[in-house]
Structure formats: C-alpha cells, structure tokens
Amino acid sequence: MTETTGARTTGGVSYWWADLGLPEPQDPLPGDVEADVVIVGAGYTGLWTAYYLAGLRPDLDVRVVEQRFAGYGASGRNGGWLSASVTGGLDGYARTHPRADVARFQLAMNDAVDEVIRVAEQHGIDAEVRRGGTLLVARNAAQAGRARQAAETAERWPETGARLLTAAEADRRIRVAGTQAAIWEPHCARINPARLAHGLARVVRERGVRIHEGTTVRSIAAGQVETDRGTVRARHVIRATEGFTAGLAGERRTWVPMNSSMIVTDPLPEETWAGIGWAHHDTLEDLAHVYSYAQRTPDGRIAIGGRGNPYRFGSRTDLDGDIPDRTVQHLRGVLCSWFPQLADVGIAHAWSGVLGVPRNWRATVAYDAASGRGWAGGYVGTGVTATNLAGRTLADLVAGERTDRTTLPWVDQRARPWEPEPLRWLGIHGLYRAYGLADRLEARGGRRTSWVATLANRVSGR
C-alpha cells in the first residue's frame, strides 16, 4: 500500500477487504488431481456455479482454482450494487430475441436479486444488505431527456418497475446538487461485496467443494487445466475469470479488461447525513455518459466509483488495485459536485478492479456439452446479480438439465473478438474521450444527448 495526497491508502485490493482483513490463501492445489468439474476463478461466477452444482449434484467432485483468494477480483472490489439491470439493455435483446424471452430475462434478474439475499440469509452470510432501489439522477437538460427516454422504455418493459421522479421527489430520497429529474428502479440492494464473497466461499467449502487458492492457471483446454502447482483433469472445465480472461492463453481478444476505480470517504457525521438524506440506502448513479456510481456504506461513508484510466495497452491488468492520484482527484471532484458540503471530507481508501467487456457489450453464459467447456462473464460492470443467475445456469447446463434459465437470451451469446492492438487501445481511449467530450458539451446546456455520444455508441456497437 502507498500513501498519496488524495487518499490515505490506495490499492490493497479494496476498502472492503481492508476492512474485513485480507485472507491468507488456503488449500493450494496439492499436485496433479482428477476431478469431475474444475472451475477457474473464485469470484462470484465461480463460487455461485460451485454452490448450485454442489446442491444439484452432490456426487460430483468439484474443484475451484484461484490465483490469490476467493473474492480477490472484481467480486471483492465492486460498488456493491446488487442490481437487476440487464447488461446490453432489453431493447437491444429485443432486436435479436422474442419479446417474451427478453421479459423473462428481466424477471429472472429481478428474482436473482431476491435469491442472493435469500441464500445469504439462509447461510448466515452478513453481506450488509439494504434494499433501497437505485436512484439515477439527471443533472442537466440532456440527462433529463435521457431520464424521460428511460421512463418511456420502462413503459414498454414494466418488468423493470422503473419510474420517472421529479426533482423534488428525487431530493426526498437523496439531495444531489443540481438534480433536474431522476429514474428510480426498485430491484436493487446495497451490499458489502467482500463480505458476500467471503461468506459464499465458506458456504461452498461447507458443501464439500475444495477451493484451491494461491494456484495460478496457465492454460485451459477441454478436459484439463494446467496450473503452476499441477494439472487438474476433469470432464467439465468452467472458465470464470471475467476481467482477467485476457491473461489466459488464446483469450487475449475475447473480453477486454476495463478498469473501474473507487474511493471511500471517512465516516460522515449525522448532521451531514441529515443534509444529504439517503435514508433508504438507494444505490446512486448519475446519467452522464462517463457515469459515476455510489453507495452509502454500512459504516456511514460514501463509496463512489467511476472510470479512471479505462484500459491498459495490450489488455494488461493490474493486480492489487493501485490507482493514480489524478483518478482519486477526479472521483473526489464528482463527489463534491454532487454534495458540495463534502468539500473538506477525507478520503480513506482508493482502489480499482477490472471487469470484462465483450465486443457486443453483452454478458453471456455458455457450455459446450461435447467438449465439456463452459464459461460466463462479460458483465460490463453489472455482474453482482448476473453472476448468481450465470452460476445457476452453468450448474443446470453442466448437470444436463434443461430449465427456464438455460433458454434465456444471454445463453450462448457469441461476440467477435476485439480488434488487435494498437486499434484496441486507440478505439477504447477514443471512445471514452468522446463520452467525456459529450458530457462537457451537455453540461454547457444542450437539451439533447450530444451527437458525439450518439456517434460513439454507433461506432462502439453498444
């Protein structure tokens, strides 16, 4: 960990882990092993897959292999939004799938929010859940236009339960400076991400699954996974490495690792909370193109995240989440523009993580029964809930069961690979510059979404 002027601590994986205590890796792979199922990656995707599989088929020998410890990746670093949002958007899916199936997908995501909370309660996992919905605030005319569009979309998709709020109604939930309108979505809860990952890993172990931590996978092939400590041979091989996938042989252009960065404030005094509101613990986001997202933490702080350096050349990922001071200052600036009374607030910790983005910006769950290979990911920053549905679906697929989940539109989505470098770096950085420019143009008072953002959306295929 290093000291900076912007945050007292940076990196160190995340505030959530620092608060809980970083665990020592347990039970490394003892050498070559034969199993029935091997899952690479002990984030939520790998852990949920193991959890449901152990329930469905307790006779199978299921192993999870993890380079550091369960929850080391995005699952232990995220903003803690347990949200029913469908990555890729319902309208996007409706262009390629029957409407009824897309509606079913939304309902399955709503249900997954409940399922995570139910499983956590059942097993005594204290994930510090507060179900307050999501508030998306519009702070200029163009953003208010997007809020109205989102409300029209919600009329077509009542399954989302989203509704338009006036500025006064939004203020009654959270008083964000300059709010002109907002969207409120009911199907979301705030969680503590590391506590969920930590608790889930305990429950998975209690179900008889061995999680081999401190074991790095070098290559994945049908029937086997090679690690730095030996080879695991198994009929079913599941890749659950999301933002780290580009580091595996043959996967460099599958999903780009996109960075997201977060800061957390010192605890705020009661009088400050009285000014801000936020009594329902909604998760909070703005409707900027380069958006920022936040939660009110259980210990009375604000954790806020957004894009720093979006992408590193050659799809490289950092490890322990260090971020530069300019990113801390940027996030602090957003925080103070939302809540000017926080101008002097101390920043306790800053960190980052990687998430996986497929070329079509749609998450997927896939399993090939012939080769026994499966994978899930590409959640584009909305994986906290989606990983639960993905894990349940992968378990169904591996167990050979056809269920309502195995026919959802995201199953077996195929995206083309990302462009080779330097096009990939230029494209992604160009895209985020364009979105930043669009935000600045809109802040100057345009009433509509800037043409720059519309063009960027078209070019990127979002």
Ligand X SMILES: Cc1cc2nc3c(=O)[nH]c(=O)nc-3n(C[C@H](O)[C@H](O)[C@H](O)COP(=O)(O)OP(=O)(O)OC[C@H]3O[C@@H](n4cnc5c(N)ncnc54)[C@H](O)[C@@H]3O)c2cc1C
Interface ranges with ligand X (CB under 6 A): 40-46, 65-68, 72-75, 77-81, 83, 216-217, 240-244, 247-248, 260, 262, 305, 353-355, 377, 379, 381-385, 387
Q: Quick one: 247 or 409, whose CB is closer to ligand X? A: 247
Q: Quick one: 387 or 393, whose CB is closer to ligand X? A: 387
* Residue closest to ligand X when measured from CB atoms: 383
Name the one residue in this structure whose structure tokens are 């997908």. 105
Report the C-alpha gap between 144 and 150 in whole angstroms: 10
Q: Quick one: 184 or 244, whose CB is closer to ligand X? A: 244
Q: Are strands 134-138 and 283-286 parallel, antiparallel or unpaired?
A: parallel
- Whether the Cβ atoms of residue 372 and residue 366 lie closer than 8 Å to each other: no
Q: How far is the CB of 445 from ligand X (least distance, A)?
A: 31
Report the C-alpha gap between 240 and 42 in whole angstroms: 7
Size of the chain in residues: 462
> Residue 30: how many CB atoms within 10 A of its CB?
11
Q: Quick one: 353 or 409, whose CB is closer to ligand X? A: 353
Report the C-alpha gap between 136 and 179 in whole angstroms: 10
Q: How far is the CB of 334 from ligand X (least distance, A)?
A: 14
- Whether the Cβ atoms of residue 405 and residue 109 lie closer than 8 Å to each other: no
Helix, strand, or coil (residue 422): coil
Q: How far is the CB of 241 from ligand X (least distance, A)?
A: 4
Residue 101: what residue type? D
Q: How far is the CB of 386 from ligand X (least distance, A)?
A: 7
Q: How far is the CB of 376 from ligand X (least distance, A)?
A: 7
Q: Quick one: 216 or 341, whose CB is closer to ligand X? A: 216
- Token pair listed for 446: 């345009």
Q: How far is the CB of 448 from ligand X (least distance, A)?
A: 28
Cα–chain center distance at 166: 28
Q: How far is the CB of 452 from ligand X (least distance, A)?
A: 25
Contacts with 31 (C-beta within 8 Å, 6 or more apart), sequence order: 229, 230
Report the C-alpha gap between 186 and 152 in whole angstroms: 16
Q: Quick one: 350 or 408, whose CB is closer to ligand X? A: 350
Q: Quick one: 68 or 424, whose CB is closer to ligand X? A: 68
- Token pair listed for 199: 């608790």
